[in-house]
A and B are shown apart, each in its own frame.
Chain A
Amino acid sequence: MSGALGVYPLNDRRTGKEVDATLWQSIERRHVDDFINKWKPIFDARLAELRSRGAVTVEIAAEHNLQDAYWQWAEKVEERRGELAWASFAVEAEGVTQGLMFTRVGADVRAREASQRNQYIVEIDLVAIAPWNRFRLVPTPQFKGIGRLLLATAISLSFSEEFAGRIGLHALPQADTWYRDVCGMTDLGIDNTKMRYFEMTEAQARAFIQ
């Protein structure tokens, strides 16, 4: 079920050089293993450090971009593997998983933005970047470009589904500016999930991939 969708250049901030990354069409066992063996220890260390300063609430974890640290990745991947509604993607560079994404489509997955209300849309359920690439976790995050690559992937999926590039997602608080101002998505405000919901119209999608 897996295949490489392409090879794309990421920027390594630490060396200033370009590094090739492969984009995979689904999350495989090795990507989950990387999460458990390479990402999680860093999350754990950071959580331990925060905990030594006091109880870690969900809010505090979100502030430090640790909210997905205890997400049951292996279980989720298995659960969603057989389901047509779910698609997943992985970005690998230097032999290590650098980013992961889950998307969802379905008869119930519809746009909310006024000009496209109720039209089918691709919902980005999760974009997770490796801890060494996150600003709130390390002083010098390594790779730049993973978020942009994954967003373009979701848009490509949307077009291939005949949803004209429409995508929607809930952004983590520190990513608001990225989605609104850099990616040009419409900010639909905080919804009942207590997170800010963003959508891209066809026009915005086309502008993004220009």
Chain B
Amino acid sequence: MEMLISPDWLRRKVESDPDVDTDAGPSIKLLEAIGMFLPAELIPVEENKVVRAVEAFGVLARQLRRQKQWTIEELAKRARVDAEDLRQIERDPHYRPRPRVVHQLSAVYGVPERPLMKLSGATITTDHDFEEKAMRFAAKSDDMSKLSREEQQALNEYVKYLIEKAT
């Protein structure tokens, strides 16, 4: 391979070049997606943060089901997952669903999979904003059979956020 520049060219140009960084590289998102940037020993895994995210996932799952006015059994049938799994998701804030279940729920509700995986604890994230939004959303829900107007709004806004996160 022939170099098309001379030492003198470099000398000349460098003189007038501004002082800036010139790095180019692998997608930041790519690194995040394959966990390459997050070696476990570096990032302090805050267990309580993960639990809160998972709890928010349970709330989201429940709200989405209530919005459709489905029972657990109906959802289990439609999503082709175990009803017991769904009950655990909605009730137990420590219960982390298997990725397949999250995948099925994502499909049946039309909510993007990747942010759901993060929320459910299936994948790790240290996105502060994401965590905060999850907690705020979870705090807005109530345990009544039909969603209130406020709950509907909160649910729709949160789903919109998750969709934006995915694109």
Residues of A near any B CB (own CB < 8 A): 5-11, 13, 18, 23, 25, 47, 51, 55-59, 61-62, 65, 67-68, 70-72, 124-129, 134-136, 141, 144-149, 151-153, 155-157, 159-160, 169-172, 174-175, 177-179, 182, 193-195, 209
Contacts and interface: CB of A to CB of B under 8 A. Distances in A.
B133 to A, nearest CB: 15
A7 B3 CA distance: 11
A11 B27 CA distance: 30
B10 A148 contact: yes
A10 B111 CA distance: 52
B7 to A, nearest CB: 5
A56 B42 contact: yes
23 contacts: A5-B1, A11-B14, A51-B43, A58-B31, A65-B21, A70-B39, A71-B36, A126-B24, A128-B23, A128-B25, A129-B22, A129-B23, A145-B10, A152-B3, A152-B9, A153-B3, A156-B5, A159-B4, A175-B20, A175-B24, A177-B18, A178-B21, A179-B24
A182 B14 CA distance: 11
B21 A126 contact: no
Contact of A9 (B10, B20, B27, B128): B10
Query: How big is the B interface, by class?
Result: 35 or more
Given A177-B18, A178-B22, A182-B17, 20 more contacts: A6-B3, A8-B7, A9-B7, A18-B11, A55-B128, A67-B25, A67-B31, A68-B25, A71-B26, A127-B23, A128-B23, A128-B25, A144-B17, A145-B10, A147-B22, A147-B23, A149-B5, A172-B23, A174-B21, A177-B20
Given A55-B126, A126-B24, A193 B30 contact: yes
Nearest to B27: A193
Contacts of A135: 19-21
A5 B6 CA distance: 11
A136 B25 contact: no
A9 B9 CA distance: 9
Secondary structure at chain B's binding surface: helix, strand, loop or mixed? loop
Given A23-B3, A55-B44, A194-B29, A144 B24 contact: no
A57 B128 contact: yes
Nearest to A153: B3
Contacts of B29: 58, 193-195
B92 interface: no
A148 B14 contact: yes
A61 B37 contact: yes
Contacts of B10: 8-10, 145, 148-149, 152
A177 B17 CA distance: 12
A124 B24 contact: yes
Contact of A170 (B5, B18, B25, B43): B25
Contact of B28 (A62, A175, A182): A62
Contacts of B127: 57
